[in-house]
């Protein structure tokens, strides 16, 4: 017994000591990370900017330093803002000799990938090299890497080049099993956001628009790769039809998709040789975050500023969750954006604003409020919109009033339409669960919106009339902002999604170009020769992101286990419950792969 107590106490003491030591190490690491955030990295001679393209790419970097320790999900690449700033600085820094792309397995919207690729093409104008190596290339990763002077592949690796597909999910049958029906009110033949809840497959108008924008994006990708790799568009299409990823790596070399099969240790030797370094000279790598944070030698603080305001995510009226467990990602919160834009309007040093929009839309009410603030801002200083991967529906709503609109050729935009969805859960509650309702009311529609019954004909008529008024307002805003006739706007509206390239031809955007092009346009409108760029709003602190992700991740995992196959349906119903009744939104997920 004494031995048992002795060993137990010893174990407890060891556990306490281990906990204390771990906490000390954690605090020291935390202090180190906080201190490093405030440091400006120096760039050594013979430096190569190393870009790891493994994971998802978003607009802005969200630091999650403890992701691996806390069971975080897929790795997150530095945001597009960080990557493009790093590449631009690397172009002009004499200590940086080139760029090395590795692990090119990323995923991202076609426009985001296209903008990163364009930044690399701009870098090549410096005469510096770009080398790419990966064990495997995703299609987006290969599209970016195709700009490289030399593409290398693991001898057992593959290149995924298969074309584009969109595979939306439909929940109607699952909802039928639960006894849930979706009451839909919309304007727009092509407004397909509601289809997953009322159909079991795509409508013909939706199939038509998806085919159109997928074809447009794919043709652009083939032309870009054809130019970089000296392959014909027909050759690239044939390789896609063969699903080239299923062939041996030697097939990639034979068909000139890659230049050489090699291993990682040989790549570093190749880089040293290319830089003509001696055996005793070291090869220095720098990360995009460090490069983006480095000082520009010619930098001089200017009083005149151009503000780049990032409007990214679902458009909501107030801060809060629009999907279960709070795992919503970034949001465009109407009340916050209005306050921020008002502050930029009143800031005398800000001479122009570039609104960077990456959103599939959301609340029509919030979109209208933001549109109004853009109008007020435009009266004081130029406003230029730069569209990212998505600027559709509500995302286009908040963009249409700008002085100028820039989009990438593969941006998904348009989707000018309005809808409302109200779930009818009366069958689930009354028949399957067994809960009964009764009602006493003073007026005919006092119980409108109750969960105990579906909406009646009169209520449905009122909802549809409200949706149609919203559509008239939306199309009117577009006509005024784009200086188009209302009938011409309605002819290309109807909720239809267009690529940036198509939208330019239709007059919905002014020019094709990236964020940098939009900033230069804003400077020209403001008649500025010298200015500094400032980014708004500040990204979420990494420690706040960590807390949010951990909490939402835990709750989501628990609910997935409890609800099983019903998790997705309940999640969507929860999301709809918390959304505004009137939505200006793209299909919930374009799902391009």
Question: How far is 23 from 181, CA to CA, in rounded Å?
Answer: 51
Burial class (CB within 10 angstroms; exposed 0-12, middle 13-18, buried 19+) of 212: middle
204-229 vs 110-124: helix axis angle to the nearest 10?
20
Of 383, 367, 377, the residue nearest 510 (C-alpha): 383
Burial class (CB within 10 angstroms; exposed 0-12, middle 13-18, buried 19+) of 576: middle
Question: How far is 408 from 386, CA to CA, in rounded Å?
Answer: 9
* Cis peptide bond N-terminal to 537, omega within 30: yes
Instruction: Fill in the DSSP letter of residue 357.
Output: E
Considering 191, 222, 305, 351, which one is annotated as catalytic? 191
Give the containing element (helix H, strand E) for 497. Answer: strand 497-499
Cα torsion 232, 238, 243, 247: sign: negative
Question: How far is 213 from 216, CA to CA, in rounded Å?
Answer: 5
Burial class (CB within 10 angstroms; exposed 0-12, middle 13-18, buried 19+) of 553: middle
The set of residues, in sequence order, having a beta carbon less than 8 Å from that of 557 and lying 6+ positions away, is none
SS3 at position 49: strand
Is 393 an annotated catalytic residue? Answer: yes
Residue 446, phi then psi, degrees to nearest 5: -60, -30
Considering 138, 145, 146, 393, which one is annotated as catalytic? 393
Question: How far is 507 from 147, CA to CA, in rounded Å?
Answer: 31
Q: Residues 111-123, buried b or exposed e (16+ Cβ, 10 A)?
A: bbbbbbbbbbebb
Cα torsion 476, 479, 482, 488: sign: positive
Burial class (CB within 10 angstroms; exposed 0-12, middle 13-18, buried 19+) of 9: exposed
What size, in residues, is the chain? 593
Distances in whole angstroms, Cα of residue 493 to Cα of each of 131, 162, 290, 397: 44, 31, 44, 12
The alpha carbons of the chain give a radius of gyration, in whole angstroms, of: 27
Are 379 and 403 a contacting pair, CB within 8 Å? no
3-class DSSP string for 464-480: HHHHHHHHHHHHHHHHH
Is 2 an annotated catalytic residue? Answer: no
SS3 content of the chain, % helix, strand, coil (to 5): 45, 20, 35
Question: How far is 219 from 350, CA to CA, in rounded Å?
Answer: 40
The set of residues, in sequence order, having a beta carbon less than 8 Å from that of 438 and lying 6+ positions away, is none
Catalytic residue numbers read 191, 393
């Amino acid at each position: 017994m004494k031995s048992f107590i002795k060993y137990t106490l010893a174990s407890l003491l060891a556990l306490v000591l281990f906990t204390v030591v771990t906490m000390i190490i954690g605090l020291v690491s935390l202090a180190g990370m906080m201190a490093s955030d405030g440091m400006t990295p120096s760039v050594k001679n013979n430096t190569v900017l190393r870009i790891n393209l493994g994971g998802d790419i978003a607009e802005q970097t969200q630091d999650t330093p403890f992701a691996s320790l806390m069971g975080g999900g897929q790795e997150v690449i530095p945001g597009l803002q960080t990557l493009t700033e790093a590449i631009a600085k690397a172009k002009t820094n004499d200590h940086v000799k080139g760029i090395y792309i590795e692990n090119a397995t990323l995923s991202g919207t076609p426009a985001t990938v296209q903008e990163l690729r364009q930044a690399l093409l701009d870098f090549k104008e410096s005469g510096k090299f770009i080398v790419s190596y990966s064990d495997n290339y995703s299609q987006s990763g290969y599209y970016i890497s195709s700009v490289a002077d030399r593409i290398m592949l693991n001898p057992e690796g593959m290149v995924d080049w298969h074309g584009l597909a969109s595979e939306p999910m439909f929940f109607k049958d699952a909802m039928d099993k639960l006894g849930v029906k979706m009451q839909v009110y919309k304007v727009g033949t092509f407004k397909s956001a509601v289809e997953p809840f009322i159909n079991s497959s795509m409508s013909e108008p939706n199939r038509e628009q998806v085919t159109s924008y997928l074809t447009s994006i794919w043709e652009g990708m083939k032309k870009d790769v054809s130019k970089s790799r000296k392959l014909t568009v027909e050759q690239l299409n044939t390789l896609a039809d063969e699903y080239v990823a299923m062939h041996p790596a030697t097939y990639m070399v034979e068909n000139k998709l890659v230049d050489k099969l090699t291993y990682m240790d040989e790549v570093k030797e190749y880089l040293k040789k290319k830089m003509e370094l001696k055996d005793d000279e070291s090869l220095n790598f720098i990360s995009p975050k460090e490069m983006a944070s480095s000082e520009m030698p010619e930098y001089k603080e200017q009083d005149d500023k151009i503000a780049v305001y990032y409007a990214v995510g679902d458009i909501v009226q107030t801060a809060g969750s629009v999907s279960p467990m709070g795992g919503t990602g970034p949001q465009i919160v109407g009340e916050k954006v209005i306050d921020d834009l008002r502050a930029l309007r009143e800031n005398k040093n800000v001479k122009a604003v570039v609104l960077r929009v990456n959103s599939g839309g959301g609340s029509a009410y919030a979109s209208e409020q933001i549109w109004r603030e853009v109008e007020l801002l435009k009266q004081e200083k130029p406003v230029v919109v730069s569209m990212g991967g998505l600027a559709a529906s509500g995302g286009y709503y908040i963009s249409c009033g700008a002085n100028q609109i820039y989009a990438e050729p593969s941006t998904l935009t348009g989707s000018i339409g309005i809808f409302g969805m109200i779930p009818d859960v009366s069958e689930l509650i009354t028949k399957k669960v067994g809960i009964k309702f009764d009602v006493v009311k003073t007026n005919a529609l006092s119980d409108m919106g109750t969960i105990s019954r579906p909406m009646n004909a009169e209520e449905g008529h009122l909802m549809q009339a409200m949706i149609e008024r919203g559509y008239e307002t939306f199309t009117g805003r577009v006509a005024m902002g784009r200086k188009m006739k209302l009938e011409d706007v309605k002819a290309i509206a109807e909720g239809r999604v267009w690529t940036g390239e198509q939208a330019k031809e239709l007059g919905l955007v002014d020019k094709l170009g990236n964020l940098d092009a939009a900033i230069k346009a804003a400077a020209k409108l403001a008649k500025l020769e010298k200015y500094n760029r400032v980014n708004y709003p500040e990204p979420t602190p990494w420690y706040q992101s960590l807390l949010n992700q951990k909490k939402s991740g835990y709750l989501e995992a628990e609910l997935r286990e409890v609800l099983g196959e019903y998790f997705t349906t309940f999640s969507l119903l929860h999301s709809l419950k918390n959304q505004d009744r009137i939505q200006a939104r793209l299909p919930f997920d374009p799902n391009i792969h």
